[in-house]
Amino acid sequence: MRNRFDEQLFELNREIIEMGSMCEEAIASSTKALITGNLDLAKKVMSNGYMIDQMERDIEGRCMKLLLHQQPVARDLRLISGALKMITDLERIGDQAEDIAGIVVFLGGRTTNGFELIGDMANEAIEMVTSSIDAFVKKDVELAKKVTAQDDVVDDYFSQIKHGIITLIAENSTDGEFALDLLMIAKYLERIGDHATNIAEWVIYCVTGTHPGRCKNDLVCGG
């Protein structure tokens, strides 16, 4: 019985890693599509979006089954409840990657030329997602803490880009629609950073039993 449970936890762990990998792939691809103006790549990201959703449902089902049938405690319970929260964030990341790809398609091959900052921001966001998944894989609290700190960098990029776009519009050197699309992409990237932070926080919760963003009396703190 116990063995079966361990086997299922192993499967759960693997599925979360797979889902994380899918999300990484999705943002990396949509960013690449954005920078190079590769429409095929962007369309591929959009058509693969359902896979991440499907994965979320699968993991959710597995978690529910584990909770109901095995009544896990302590560490296992934290892993499962953490997983339930994490997949929501991962799914959001996938959605946002999809949305960016959608904008890329809408831009119709127009690249962010002259706006390298958005590429840098995307790389930062990708790194955050990668690190947060790495933190989960290795159950590395230090790495997870680093991710939560990295969020400020992405937020900084966002405000820089926002100001850049404001100047562009003020100078009338770009059309408004393009500028807004860029802003949307920047916002999506910023949200991705937030979701990566959430994932990192749930990783910390899974390992230590305390969620860094919660108060002491909260149920999830275990205190």
Partner 1 sequence: MINKILRSILTVAIIVQIASLLIITSVLYRYFGDIQISQLKDGLSLASRAMEQLGESYLESLNYDRYRLTWVSSDGKVLFDSHADAATMENHADREEIKEALTSGTGSSIRQSPTMTELTIYEAILLKDGSILRMSAKRDTVFSLVLGLLQPIAMILLIASILSAWLAHGMAKRVVEPLNKLNLEKPLENDAYEELSPLLRRLHSQQMEIKSQMRKLKYKEDEFDQITGNMKEALVLLDNTGRILSINPAARKLFNAEITCIGEDFLTIERKLNMRLALEEAKKQGHADFRDLKKGREYQFDLSRIDSEGNHHGMVILAFDVTEQVNAERNRREFTANVSHELKTPLQSIIGSAELMESGIVKEDDVPRFVRHIRSEASRLVYLIDDIIQLSQLDEGTEMPHEDVSLKVLAEEVFEVLTDAAKLKDVSLEVIGDDGVVNGVRRLLYVVIYSLCDNAIKYNIPGGSVKVSITQKTGSVCLSVQDTGIGIAPEHHEKIFERFYRVDKSHSKQSIGTGLGLSIVKHAAQYHNGIISVESKLKKGTKISILFDTKEQ
Which residues in this chain contact partner 1 in the complex, by CB under 8 A? 7, 10, 13-14, 17-18, 20-22, 24-25, 133, 137-138
Tell me whether residue 30 or residue 112 sits nearer to partner 1 (CB atom).
30
Closest approach of Cβ 27 to partner 1, in Å? 12
Q: Could you tell me which of 142, 44, 159 has the C-alpha nearest to residue 102? A: 44
Closest distance of CB 130 from partner 1, Å: 10
Task: Report how far apart the first and last C-alpha atoms of the chain are (Å, whole number).
Answer: 30
What's the rounded Cα separation, in Å, for the pair 201 and 212?
6
Q: How far apart are CA 136 and CA 189, in angstroms?
A: 21
Identity of the residue, 24 or 124, whose beta carbon is nearer to partner 1 in the bound complex: 24
| Nearest to 137, CA basis, from 2, 4, 24 | 24
Q: How far is the CB of 149 from partner 1 (least distance, A)?
A: 22
Nearer residue to partner 1 within complex by CB, 122 or 165: 122
Give least dist CB 20 to partner 1, A: 7
Output the smallest distance, CB 137 to partner 1, in A: 5
**Nearest C-alpha neighbor of 30 from the set 164, 188, 152:** 188
Closest separation between CB of residue 157 and partner 1, Å?
A: 25
Output 20 or 164, the one with its CB closest to partner 1.
Answer: 20
Q: Residue 32 or 187: which CB sits closer to partner 1?
A: 32
Q: Which of 132, 128, 108, 109 is nearest to 120 (CA)?
A: 128
18/155 with CB nearer partner 1: 18
CA pair distance 32, 25, nearest whole angstrom: 10
**Count of other CB atoms within 10 angstroms of residue 7:** 10
- Compute, in degrees rounded to 10, the torsion defined by CA atoms 184, 35, 191, 54: 110
